[in-house]
Amino acid sequence: MESIYENLKGSDTLVVAFQAHDNNVFGTTVEEFKGTLSSLNYDTVKINDINGNYFFNGIDETYNTPEKVLDLLSGYVSGYTKTVFIGNCAGGHAAILFGTMLNVNKVIGFNTVSYLDQTTLLLNDDGRDDQVSFLDQSNEYLNLKPYLESANYNTQIYSIVAQNAERHVKQSNNISTCPNVNIEMINSTIPQIAPYLNRQGLLISKIVEIIEN
């Protein structure tokens, strides 16, 4: 899997999708990506964390720190009229963190993960605390709530959540009172809201709706 894929068409709007760990809602190959976000009439970039460390160790051997990834993204967003970062699950965590740091126009998360620290995961009976044991638990950005409450940004944040998936609802509710956070609960037949919307043929239209409004 490539760490970076871009499809630049000359649009004044840039959409950057973040893929964390093994999540592949926007495709695992270039061809699959072309069938999702890259099919839109926007410039699109897909950032894959092939290290599998939720972007906290960068994305690959070249961009091996969050700071280097931030510099990479800063170069991409420069010159665009509108920039939107998108992520599913833990990719939403990266989209919010980098998006607000760069003050992009909008961030769209699906079943957004807003905390990756073991303390909050255990407190909310999330069940995934063992999956993040390798992360430095002292990292201030693991839980986005304190960061968003103190950061200065204008970014509008949208979290689309499967309303019947308790742990995903708790993850989004964690940041519900932070500035510019908008949460939309959707009645889904499965916990994974982005694949559900994709199967219903609604994923891309939902993204376009938020980008254009």
Q: Average pLDDT for consecutive 10-residue bins of the chain (213 residues)?
A: 87 93 61 70 92 94 97 96 95 97 97 97 95 95 98 98 96 98 97 91 93 94
CATH 3.40.50.1820 fits 4-212, yes or no: yes
pLDDT of residue 132: 94
Cα 100 to chain center, whole Å? 11
For residue 71, the one-letter residue type is D
pLDDT of residue 29: 60
pLDDT of residue 40: 84
For 101-121, b/e burial (b = at least 16 CB within 10 A) is bbebbbbbbbbbbbbbbbebb
Which runs of consecutive H residues, i.e. helices, occur in 7-117? Answer: 30-34, 66-77, 90-101
3-state secondary structure of 118: helix
C-alpha angle with apex 75: 31 to 97, nearest 5 degrees? 80
State the pTM of this model: 0.95
Q: Where are the domains of the chain?
A: 4-212
pLDDT of residue 36: 72
Tokens of 44: 């699109």
pLDDT of residue 113: 97
